[in-house]
Structure 1
């Protein structure tokens, strides 16, 4: 008799478990507008800045020297005399705008066989031979593939723009 009651009890438990399983399947498959479980939304904590706080402590080195080599100095008295280095004024010369000077090319005089350079300077085209000066620009050497010029006391080689 003991075994019969135990079997009925186990059968009842099996029916309850299967009933719960079947119920959950029907709820999941069915078109129920309300969710079975409600999700708990966690309230976000405010952003905590973990930056290093500004150091407000001051080092006081008025303790005695542990080795006894240096005598004790009073660091609480601050010297008001400061050594300020004097600056020497330097004359700054403005830079030369070399982009305003363009070497356009050259032509050759058929009679004298001299090379004449065509130079575009500050919006004007100028034709110059070696040794000529125009608007503080002096043509020092014409090498066909480049020219050597002196402008405001500085010399530079300029190649033609292509």
Structure 2
């Protein structure tokens, strides 16, 4: 008995819904039905002619890329000499044997597996171990820094 009541209630609702959907579809497909009695408004055309304007480029400025610098700066020579001395000083010592085994990533931090000579270390980016700063950690390499000199150690393949 209960199924008949729901059938009598739901069947007209479904028919009304489908009728409304078909009506909307037909209304959109035939726009002539909506505007059968109305005519489109006349278009207004402005007959004023547009005057062409002419522009003149001012090209009498100096090209910033072709400037010649004939002035020699003495301070630059001093800095260059200091840089050469610094480079010589940086290469005065030898780097130990590094073996990079890869990194472990989780949602908070990255930890690298590094072997310096024979000691195994878990290193993190930015920390200092045996006077070497871990500059950057990647999955296939690590960049180490000591006194401004950086070196890339590639992952050890077994």
User: TM-score under structure 1 normalisation?
Assistant: 0.38
Larger radius of gyration: 1
Q: Higher RCO, 1 or 2 (CA under 8 Å, sep at least 6)?
A: 2
